[in-house]
Amino acid sequence: MVQLDEILPNFSGFAISSGDLHLRLLDRLGSGSYGVVYAAQDISPESTSAQYYAVKCFLHLPEVTDYARLQQRELKNHALISDVPNVVRLHVILQEECYTFVVLDLCTGGDLYSAIMETDTYVYNTPAVKRTFLQILDAVEACHAKGVYHRDLKPENILCSHDFKRVFLGDFGLSTRSKRSSSFGCGTSLYMSPECLGVFHDKPYATAPSDVWALGIILCNVITRGRHPWHIASPNEDLCFQVYLQEGSAWLVRNLPISLEAAAILSRVLELDPKKRITIPELRKAIFAVKTFYPDGEAASSTVKS
């Protein structure tokens, strides 16, 4: 399958404008099946200081194509929640004859996955884990309140400020306005809930609790420096998940470097029945109350700052 970033031209040095906003595209930041993302500098005559943005570039395809419909859904949903704190702000969408340019806030700290794996930000650092995860909860809860359900929550879709003290939810390519969905297997398998995978039945599932499940896996990633409790939440395909269903939080404590209280929270998030799964307000309250996410407290790394 040809990816769109292989078709798009190199836009480095290209200028785009919308009203008083004039941007020059700089280095390429990333790419994928959707297109390409560039850093961009504000070159407006009125600009008194260097202002930078991220610009997502799509191929502009006829509206009858599935790709175009998905693209329009992503942009509409993102625009709807763009003013939510801890969501990447969408400034403007520029439609040209062949291309679409989406101007976004530039988050210079990279994504949360890189922060977890390549820095010591969260190593034995309960305050830092709390600070980041509570911001993610706030963003997801606000999106749900506006009727947008992400369906692909993972560290790669959460961006960081340069000092890692603020995080921002992005990439709404799989988001939906539907409270219930029949789109099974939607998202990234490591973060999919059992109901999203259609493990036990093929009935439509609630999208909000499915997002909450993904939040639990993200919390596990942040605490354990990128570890996952299982590869897929299906007892027929993953022995770890099968044993977890039998043993619950005891299995989590035995297999992951987490505290008893962290395991207790995760077992409420990773509840098989979406109707019994912890809600975001309940999860926020539980996270606030945590003394430590780690089995030996913070002593193992007392020099790490929050």
Q: Which residues does the annotation place in the binding site for ATP?
A: 56
d(C-alpha 225, C-alpha 31), whole Å = 25
If DSSP codes are grouped into helix, strand and coil, which group holds residue 70? Answer: helix
As a whole number of angstroms, the distance between CA 167 and CA 159 comes to 5
DSSP 8-state assignment for residue 39: E
Specify whether 152 is catalytic. Answer: yes
- CA 180 to chain centroid, in Å, comes to 20
Where does 181-290 have alpha helices with state H? 194-197, 207-224, 239-247, 249-255, 260-269, 280-289
Measured in whole angstroms, the distance separating CA 102 from the mean position of its chain's CA atoms is 18
| CA angle at 141 for the pair 137 and 147, rounded to the nearest 5° | 150
SS3 for 275?
A: coil
**CA–CA separation, 253 vs 224, rounded Å?**
12
Q: Which of 152, 171, 202, 211 is catalytic?
A: 152
Cβ atoms of residues 185 and 192 within 8 Å: yes
Side chain identity at residue 39, one-letter code = A
CB 113 within 8 A of CB 155: yes
Question: Distance (Å, rounded) from C-alpha 264 to C-alpha 42?
Answer: 48
Identify the helix (H) or strand (E) that includes residue 158. strand 158-160
* 11 Cβ neighbours under 8 A, 6+ residues apart: 25, 36, 38, 57
Instruction: Judge contact between 208 and 281, C-beta under 8 A.
Output: no
Catalytic residues: 152
